[in-house]
Amino acid sequence: MDSLQVKCQSCEQQISSFFCHDCRIAVPVPRGVDYFRYLGLPQRPLIDAERLEATYLRLSQEYHPDRHPDLSAEEKEAILYRSALLNQAYTCLRDPKQRVQYLVELLTRGERTRSNAIAPAIADLFRRVQTTLMATDVYLKEAERPKSSLEAVAFALDGGNPSTHRDALQECRQAIERQQAEVLATLSEIDAQWNEAGEASEQAFHRLTEVADALSYLDRLSHQVHERSVALNMVATPVALRMS
């Protein structure tokens, strides 16, 4: 796909942003312009990172308010909107996980039913993470329960060390990140089939939806681990452990 080209409604020349410097007006953003189109990139799983960065920097400079001090309040508001949309598009497309999710939603118009099928490796990871989460929840519940001095000492000496659970959660976080990396590694293969004719292209899209579902599932799992980590950080270290 070539760089973004839109027509100025005043002079009708083709320009590569949504602001015409000759006419000093903001060009309307066409209905249905997506993040890929906004940044002049093809709709596919992999993108040219250098091209994305270069386009983002060029448009950021063009939309910067300091470059347009003489514009009307309406035109300045239009420029700010374009700048905000640019940042949203850039943030989404530079992150592989967000890009995959966005591309699938874009191509299915948000009407796709997510699959409940889970790859065996992810199912195994889920079981291991859930075991750690349940153990952490038991600890947190006991840690928050009011205790006498003797009970507090007994709790501290009998599995009351929060660092044990922090280490287990850290292992879970690392395992999730490794699984995410393995899922994302399949994008090269999918992208290679993206524009092929017939079944190859359909298969590529089907595999991309599986990647999107897997990443969404892993993100939810990662969020659960993060929640427990935050909760653990708010638990005071038992007195007996501080004194040892």
Alpha-carbon distance of 194 to 136, in angstroms, equals 43
What pLDDT tens digit does each residue of the chain (244 aa) get?
445 566 766 677 776 566 666 666 666 666 667 899 888 899 999 999 999 999 999 888 888 877 777 777 877 777 788 888 889 999 999 999 999 999 999 898 867 767 677 889 999 999 999 999 999 999 898 887 776 777 666 666 665 678 889 999 999 999 999 999 999 999 999 999 998 877 888 899 999 999 999 999 999 999 999 999 999 888 765 544 444 4
Alpha-carbon distance of 154 to 148, in angstroms, equals 10
Number of domains within the chain: 2
Residues 239 and 140 in one domain: yes
Whole-number pLDDT of residue 83: 86
Whole-number pLDDT of residue 243: 46
Task: Supply the range of the domain harboring residue 68.
Answer: 6-94
The domain that holds 59 is classified in CATH as 1.10.287.110
> How is residue 172 written in tokens?
């879970």
Whole-number pLDDT of residue 31: 62
Residues 88 and 166 in one domain: no
Does residue 114 form part of some domain? no
> How is residue 175 written in tokens?
């395992």
Length of the chain: 244
State the pairing for strand pair 19-20/25-26: antiparallel
Alpha-carbon distance of 143 to 203, in angstroms, equals 50
Does residue 204 form part of some domain? yes
* Residue among 87, 78, 73 at smallest CA distance from 38: 87
Whole-number pLDDT of residue 4: 59
Does residue 137 form part of some domain? yes
Residues 74 and 137 in one domain: no
Element containing residue 131 per DSSP (H, E): helix 120-144
Residues 238 and 133 in one domain: yes
> How is residue 98 written in tokens?
């967000």
Alpha-carbon distance of 125 to 220, in angstroms, equals 13
Residues 90 and 131 in one domain: no
Whole-number pLDDT of residue 16: 59
Residues 154 and 52 in one domain: no
> How is residue 154 written in tokens?
């007994």
pTM (2 d.p.): 0.78
Q: Cβ neighbours of residue 214 under 8 Å, at least 6 residues apart?
A: 118, 119, 122, 183
Residues 131 and 239 in one domain: yes
Does residue 217 form part of some domain? yes
Residues 128 and 41 in one domain: no
Whole-number pLDDT of residue 8: 66
Residues 234 and 163 in one domain: yes
Burial of 107 from C-beta contacts in 10 A (0-12 / 13-18 / 19+): middle
Whole-number pLDDT of residue 15: 63
Residues 73 and 161 in one domain: no
Instruction: Choose one of 94, 109, 141: the last residue of a domain.
Output: 94
Residues 155 and 226 in one domain: yes
Does residue 229 form part of some domain? yes
Element containing residue 215 per DSSP (H, E): helix 199-233
